[in-house]
Amino acid sequence: MDLHDLIVELREVNKSKIVLLVADGLGGLPMTPGGKTELESASTPHLDTLAREGICGMSIPVLPGITPGSGPGHLGLFGYDPLKYRIGRGILEALGINFEVGKNDVAIRGNFCTVDAEGKITDRRAGRPTTEQCIAMCKKLKQIKIPGVEIFVEPVREHRFVVVFRAPGLGDRVNDTDPQQVGLKPLIAKGEDAESQKAAEITNKFAHEASLVLAKDSPTNMITLRGFATFPKIATMEQVYGLKSAAIAVYPMYKGLARLVGMDILNAGNSLADQVETLKKSWNDYEFFFLHYKYTDSTGEDGNFQAKVEMIEKLDAAIPGIKALKPDVFIVTGDHSTPSKLKSHSWHSVPTLISSPTCRTDGVTEFGESYCLQGGLGHFEAKYLMSLAMAHAGKLGKYGA
Amino acid sequence: MDLHDLIVELREVNKSKIVLLVADGLGGLPMTPGGKTELESASTPHLDTLAREGICGMSIPVLPGITPGSGPGHLGLFGYDPLKYRIGRGILEALGINFEVGKNDVAIRGNFCTVDAEGKITDRRAGRPTTEQCIAMCKKLKQIKIPGVEIFVEPVREHRFVVVFRAPGLGDRVNDTDPQQVGLKPLIAKGEDAESQKAAEITNKFAHEASLVLAKDSPTNMITLRGFATFPKIATMEQVYGLKSAAIAVYPMYKGLARLVGMDILNAGNSLADQVETLKKSWNDYEFFFLHYKYTDSTGEDGNFQAKVEMIEKLDAAIPGIKALKPDVFIVTGDHSTPSKLKSHSWHSVPTLISSPTCRTDGVTEFGESYCLQGGLGHFEAKYLMSLAMAHAGKLGKYGA
């Protein structure tokens, strides 16, 4: 039985409130065997109190050994099986630059490339232009008009940009036009079904027009397109959980992911203090709040152990402000680990706590990987976190009599 | 989504090396409640060091409560869901006697039985002949020729032997010819589809010829055939993981299981010392090595607690030789538990360690059931061990963006 069907069957309405605080890339590694992780090294009196009052465990983002990107990592935390719901690359790229993708959109990742007089690619990244050049070239591409379709072109950085075709009935089963090697012309787009063929034809027209518009702009004189993706068919949080849900995230990617599952996107300002302020202001308007904190991930990606420790301590300082609102269920976790030692996302399980009057306390006295390992939630797949949240919030009835 | 498809999508090539050391039936039980298991009783300084440097946990071979045979136990460790990939009995029997089964083979378990003048079975095991008699009778059966099919007959022991029919397009959906009770004639073989009917017809001809060849050899004057099995359609380790893989196993069954998943079978000699020597010699030729150690299982099956302890200590003594090669990922586990107390395979979870520079150390200081229970891997299904191995080896890329 599908987990969402089960929840729809069992869910009950009450006024309790759930706060999901996601510290991106929270999990870490000790720099030397037997040492402490970033989270264990940080002074986190408020998180420790939550851990003592609550129940802890280790979240497996996807499956053992699988390192998730931000998309699958967050979908799992929102209770969507990340192996069932896949968000296409084009959509993720568009979300990342704060482009508001809609139901009639095909989002595509674009690269500027260099072609010779015969149209054969000589540099797949067009000599890595500056982002300023990218912005200028995208302005040129924005001039392209194709009847019956609305076209958006937005720069990402260097040679990368996003194209969105907006028209009813477009499919995304279209091949990448990047031939993956130099000496070849960009490939012709073909669709695997009628809807996708429609998108492919628009793509080929767009690429042709691009070649004309950019003709004199070597090395950025041509484009390739890849990662075609339509807006995913995915039930909203309200449809699945019956929860009026809001996202308070500073970075575009996480707002975008929240929008995919139907959350309202609130003005998060620029800091954790702003986010907590927004939470307070909108406290009466929603039953579920997703707060996203980026800096535990970015410092981990930088390989800066000490900076990650400090970012965790800043996070800890924001806990009392959230706790003061008395959420019925307060969850702190990460979408994956980003150990400073590895300077990247990783597969390691993620320390997680649920604080709620209905939780079974478990003797964990500090919030950290080695403590959570001994916690009452054990190891669990992230996709079950929302069921646990709903249960602790008194929002899930009995299964069977 | 299928786990293998996911791994094929995410796998990356690098030069790191994985060693999987399987101590067959490693897990045990204390002889008295609250006592120590075999592994906990053994002095294992080298395994303890690995446990300290690595991450530990408990492997569930199939599912909680399910006791695996050697086939499912090893398939799980190789990352093949043992409930999805089932190896037929005939194939396992053939592997166990070192018969090299191939893609065009149907392997069948044979029993000598005794029939009366009317052809009705009077003893389903032919009075349990000696293995010498079995060998002599098999020689007679080897004389049987059937046009269009190559026939192999190999003794196992006592009344048991293996028959292999080799011809293109043979199926294995054929009923056992053993009627399971005396007073009845051996059953006629029937196939459930055209390919299997072809195998059934060969089977009936072979049984008829056997009745003639053995006519004067009462009590071993007839045969029954069961466990028809073709070579399983199973992707190789190289196809799934992209790993050039080698097995270093002394016993035929484990060589055979490794061959089923496409590993090269190296000359393992007769001892752990020989195996480690082979490992050294072939170190540059493979990325994945499976070493199999039998004696933890056989002593457990004997119910000899002290002997199992000693075999574990011998295993421990071989660890430095393997470690000296500096594998990037070194795994020590078992395919199942074989507690001396039960004198048989069991369902109990299996202590497991992964030692690698990328693992999250977990405070476990000794290798044993009660210590591993506190380990960072928690309880996990054996089929995920290879994903974990690939991740720790840096051979799995990110899922999603």
Tell me: the pLDDT tens digits for B269-312?
Answer: 999 999 999 999 999 999 999 999 999 999 999 999 999 999 99
Question: Where do runs of H (alpha helix) occur along A231-329?
Answer: 237-241, 252-260, 272-281, 295-301, 305-323
What's the pLDDT tens digit per position in A320-376?
A: 999 999 999 999 999 999 999 999 999 999 999 999 999 999 999 999 999 999 999
Q: Which residue has the higher pLDDT, A58 or A232?
A: A58
Q: Give the H/E segment covering residue A353.
A: strand A350-355
- Comparing CB atoms, the residue among A30, A70, A82 nearest residue B361 is A30
3-state secondary structure B8-71: HHHECCCCCCEEEEEECCEECCCCCCCCCCHHHHCCCHHHHHHHHHCEEEEEECCCCCCCCCHH
Burial class (CB in 10 A: 0-12, 13-18, 19+), A194: exposed
- pLDDT, one tens digit per residue, over A66-103 is 999 999 999 999 999 999 999 998 998 998 898 989 99
Q: How far is residue B357's CA from residue B21's CA, in Å, rounded to a whole number?
A: 18
- Under the banding of pLDDT at 50, 70 and 90, the label for residue A122 is very high
Residues of A in contact with B358 (CB under 8 A): 29, 341-342, 346
Does A320 lie at the interface with B, CB-CB under 8 angstroms? no
| Extended strands (E) in A101-149 | 105-115, 121-123
| pLDDT exceeds 90 at position B15 | yes
The pLDDT value recorded for residue A266 is: 97
Q: Three-class SS of residue B339?
A: coil
Contact at CB, A369 and B360, closer than 8 angstroms:
yes
- Residue A37 to residue B360, Cβ atoms within 8 A: yes
Rounded average pLDDT over B239-264: 95
Instruction: Kindly identify which residue of chain B lies nearest to residue A85, measuring between CA atoms.
Output: B1
Write down the pLDDT at residue A242. Answer: 98
- A69, A86 Cβ separation under 8 angstroms: no
Cα–Cα distance for residue pair B352/B51, rounded to 1 Å: 9
Rg value, chain B, Cα: 23
Q: Is A89 on the interface with B (CB under 8 A)?
A: yes
B362, B390, B398 ranked by CB distance to A69: nearest: B398
What's the whole-model pTM score?
0.91
Band of residue A34 on the pLDDT scale cut at 50, 70, 90: confident
Q: What is the pLDDT of residue A304?
A: 98
**A68–B400 C-beta distance less than 8 A:** yes
Mean pLDDT of all residues in chain B?
Answer: 96
Cβ <8 Å between A37 and B376? no
Determine which of A66, A91, A374 to mutate to test the interface with B (most B C-beta atoms within 10 Å): A66
pLDDT at B401: 83
Query: Would you call B8 an interface residue with chain A, using a CB distance cutoff of 8 Å?
Result: no
Instruction: Give the mean pLDDT of A228-255.
Output: 95
In which band, very low, low, confident or very high, does the pLDDT at B233 lie, cut at 50, 70 and 90? Answer: confident
Each residue of B325-378: pLDDT tens digit?
A: 999 999 999 999 999 999 999 999 999 999 999 999 999 999 999 999 999 999
pLDDT of residue B360: 97
Q: Each residue of B322-347: b (16+ CB within 10 Å) or e?
A: bbeeebbbbbbbbbbbbbbbbeebbb
Q: How far is A58 from chain B (nearest CA, A)?
A: 9
B71-81: average pLDDT: 97
A301-326 pLDDT, tens digit each: 999 999 999 999 999 999 999 999 99
Confidence bin at B96 (pLDDT 50/70/90) = confident
User: Residue A391: pLDDT above 90?
Assistant: yes
Mean pLDDT of chain A: 96
How much is the pLDDT for A22? 98
Residue-level pLDDT at A117: 95
The reply to whether A343 touches chain B by the CB within 8 Å rule is no
Report residue B13 as tokens.
Answer: 């090539």
pLDDT above 70 coverage of chain A, percent: 100
Q: Which domains does chain A have, with CATH numbers?
A: 3-87+233-392 (3.40.720.10), 91-230 (no CATH)
- The confidence score (pLDDT) of residue B1 equals 81
Are A203 and A111 within 8 A, CB to CB? no
User: Terminal CA-to-CA distance of chain A, rounded, Å?
Assistant: 18
How distant is the alpha carbon of residue A143 from its chain centre? 31
Q: Judge: B391–A66 Cβ closer than 8 Å, yes or no.
A: yes
Phi, psi of A130 (to 5 degrees): -70, 165
Q: What is the pLDDT of residues A147-181, one digit of tens each?
A: 999 999 999 999 999 999 999 999 999 999 999 99
Yes or no, beta carbons of B384 and A64 under 8 Å apart:
yes
Model confidence at A38, pLDDT cuts 50, 70, 90, reads very high
Q: Using CA atoms, how far apart are residues A332 and B309, in angstroms rounded to an integer?
A: 44
Confidence of residue B10 (pLDDT cuts 50, 70, 90): very high
Nearest 5°: the CA angle A297, A265, A19 is 65
Q: Do B387 and A37 touch (CB under 8 A)?
A: no
CB pair distance less than 8 Å for B401 and A93 = yes
Which pLDDT value is given to residue A119? 96
pLDDT given for residue A112 in this prediction: 97
